[in-house]
Amino acid sequence: MQLRYVFSELGQGLRRNLSMHLAVILTLFVSLTLVGLGILLNQQATKAADHWGSQLQITVYLCTERDSNPACTGEVTEAQRTAVLQVVEDNPEVADHFLISKEEAFEKVKELYGAERFEGPYPAATAEDMPEAVRIELKDPEKYEGIVSAVKGLDGVSKVGDMRTVIAPIIGSINTMKWAALGTAIFLVVAALLLVANTIRLAAFARRKEIGIMRLVGASTLYIALPFLLEALVTALIGVVLATGALAGFMYFGIMERATDRLKFVPWIGFSEYGVAVAAVAVLGPLLTVLPTLVLTRKYLKV
Amino acid sequence: MIRFEKVTKTYPGHAHAALDQVSVDIEKGEFVFLVGSSGSGKSTFLRLVLREYRPTGGRVYVAGKEINRLASWKVPRLRRTIGTVFQDFRLLPNKTVTENVAFALQVIGRSRSEISSLVPETLELVGLDGKGDRMPDELSGGEQQRVAIARAFVNRPQILIADEPTGNLDPTTSVGIMKLLDRINRTGTTVVMATHDAGIVDQMRKRVIELEHGRVVRDQAQGVYGFQN
């Protein structure tokens, strides 16, 4: 097929409708960035939730030698520990439980805050400072009051930690940002679709003479629609490139430079998550312009 | 080459049929005048040949294909066998004469070498050699219509449809255009021409099909335009 016409039309069409194309590119850029952001935040929330274990967990910390809870009379005794485990085992709300030793707790802390703080002659803490704990998984995350009150008053129990009170606000705010980004993106996607539709209408009108003659002499529908499709593709690609850049900026300045340094206890998203978001944006962008173009060229360029 | 079998065409929202039970058979290589007053159905007839519309009833055959059953995606291929000329020329104002004619070949995917041999040849045939670099607005009406005919004929179609091709031209220029259409007809191309121009029809002495209110009221082998009131 001779495509000289198609490419000269493509260049002409992009120049002729420059302001419309810019409008499409900018709306696409912003909406795709927000979609990408939504995807990144979604992955961030999942990653955080995965790391902290299922949110159903309740941790019962047992007394240590020097415990801040005055109810503790000293290190938890063998009999106290057995009693606590018995109560947990008998509770119908508990799905599973396991004991975390001082050493295991210490390993976890070293992992979170960096092992170098706990080495040398003056370590920040030793395994002995760590409380033993019983980790409890619930059958139903909504029903936790029973087990909490059953364990709370027992001898040898320092405190009952409900992970939800710590994690829920963090995951909650990530989710709020996610939905805000995606919600705004939906409006902008609609705006982008309408702009694409308008651009095609204008372009079809500007080219109506050529199109009329092409139909008359028997140019195929695809050939007539090709300049429109290529224009749609070019604007989409520019939008995708800009959005990819903006997301890279968010990853670098937002996550890697700031968050990763300051909030070490949260596992942050990295390059693989960025790749997923970029892939989604790269698919969505062309779809947003090419699909309406296909539909509308069928309407305006009917044989 | 073109056959209408009891063809009826009613436009949506119109009570009267634009064409009413029209049966016509046009052989390969014929030259046919389609005459009748405005609104008699001439344009509808031509548009059905081009498959711009499907008939409401009856069957239309063009170049051996039944138009009613032709899939939309095959329509472009059908139109490559038909050249079309209009009263208002329909040239692209920003392209030269050569580019206008070449455009018809480019957009159906003909190769550059074919285009560079066919276009000058056709411009010579229509009497425009040496004017290939002119823009349409530098040409007279008659010359512009020759460009349009060159564009319609450059792909060597089997059928040439002309809808009032002399409608905008003075009588002397019209004679030249008719001679050109006659020459194209002699190459074996079937020519169907809708016209109001009684002088031309009387002079050419070709087959005349007269339409009135969508019906064929006359089909005469070597006819004249008809009696004027």
ipTM: 0.87
Token look-up 């004679």 returns B175
* Domain-located, residue B139: yes
Inter-chain touch A2–B112, beta carbons under 8 Å: yes
Q: What is the mean pLDDT of residues B30-38?
A: 93
Q: What is the mean pLDDT of chain B?
A: 92
Is B137 inside any structural domain? yes
Q: What tokens does A104 get?
A: 């295991």
Q: How many domains does chain B have?
A: 1
Residue A134 has pLDDT above 90, yes or no: no
CA dist., res. A161 & res. A151, Å (int): 11
Give me the pLDDT at residue A53, please: 57
Model confidence at A54: pLDDT above 80: no
What is the pLDDT at residue A52?
Answer: 65
Residue pair A301/A221 in contact by the 8 Å Cβ criterion: yes
Give the relative orientation of helices B97-106 and B112-125 as an angle to the nearest 10 degrees: 130
Give the pLDDT mean for B130-147.
94
How much is the average pLDDT of A2-30?
Answer: 83
Q: What gap in Å lies between CA A223 and CA B110, rounded to an integer? A: 13
Residue A13 pLDDT: 80
pLDDT of A102 reads: 83
Alpha carbon distance A153, B228 (integer Å): 117
Average pLDDT rounded to a whole number, residues A253-260: 79
According to the model, what pLDDT value does residue A94 have?
Answer: 83
Least confident of A49-53, A63-67, B210-214: A49-53
Question: Has residue A297 got a pLDDT over 80?
Answer: yes
B80 touches chain A (CB under 8 A): yes
Nearest to A219 among B78, B82, B108 (CB): B108
Q: How far is A222 from chain B (nearest CA, A)?
A: 10
Query: Across A90-104, A142-156, A254-268, B192-206, which has the greatest mean pLDDT?
Result: B192-206
pLDDT class for A154, splitting at 50, 70, 90? confident
Domain span at B134:
89-156
Q: Which of A68, A134, A150 has its CA nearest to residue A101?
A: A134
How far apart (Å, rounded) are the C-alpha atoms in residues B201 and B154? Answer: 26
Instruction: Note whether A219 contacts B107, CB cutoff 8 Å.
Output: yes
Query: What letter would DSSP give residue A2?
Result: -
Q: How far is B77 from chain A (nearest CA, A)?
A: 6
What pLDDT is recorded for position A259?
Answer: 73
- Assigned domain for B78 exists: no
A265 or A274: which leads in pLDDT? A274
Residue that wins the pLDDT comparison between A270 and B134: B134
For chain A, give the mean pLDDT.
83
Under a CB-based contact definition with an 8 Å cutoff, are residues B125 and B144 in contact? no
Confidence (pLDDT) at B228: 47
**A278 pLDDT above the threshold of 90:** yes
* pLDDT for B155 beyond 80: yes
Which one has a higher pLDDT value, B55 or A114?
A: B55
Q: How far apart are the C-alpha atoms of B95 and B195, rounded to whole Å?
A: 29
Pair A99, A85: CB distance under 8 Å: yes
Higher pLDDT, A159 or B1: B1
Residues ≥6 apart with Cβ < 8 Å to B128: B97, B143, B146, B147, B150
Kindly report, residue by residue over B76-115, the tens digit of the pLDDT: 999 999 999 999 999 999 999 999 999 999 989 889 999 9
Render pLDDT for B182-215 as a digit per residue (tens, 0 to 9).
999 999 999 999 998 888 898 888 999 999 999 9
B151 part of a folded domain: yes
Listed range (A166-170, A261-265, B71-75) with the worst mean pLDDT:
A261-265
Q: Give the number of beta-carbon pairs within 8 Å between A and B.
A: 60
Locate the domains of chain A by residue range. Answer: 1-53+168-301, 55-162
Tell me the DSSP string of A264-289: TTSPPP-HHHHHHHHHHHHHHHHHHH
Tell me: pLDDT of A262 over 60.
Answer: yes
Residue with tokens 């436009």: B11
Q: What is the mean pLDDT of residues B11-20?
A: 90
Residue A65 has pLDDT above 90, yes or no: no
The dihedral through the CA atoms of B54, B59, B64, B70 has a sign that is positive
Cα–Cα distance measured from residue A4 to residue B115, given in angstroms and rounded to the nearest whole number: 13
Name the CATH code of domain A55-162 (choices 3.30.70.3040, 3.60.15.10, 3.40.50.11030, 3.30.70.600).
Answer: 3.30.70.3040
Other CB atoms closer than 10 Å to residue A21's CB: what's the count?
22
* Interface membership of B79 toward A (CB under 8 Å): yes
A171 vs A182, more confident: A182
Two tokens, residue B193: 């021409």
- Asked whether residue B132 is assigned to any structural domain, the reply reads yes
pLDDT in the model for residue B229: 41
B112 lies within 8 A of chain A by CB: yes
- Using DSSP, state whether B22 is helix, strand or coil: strand
CA distance B52 to chain A (A): 7
Per the rule left: phi > 0, alpha: psi between -120 and 50, beta: everything else, B213 is left
Look at residue A77 in the predicted model and tell me its pLDDT: 84
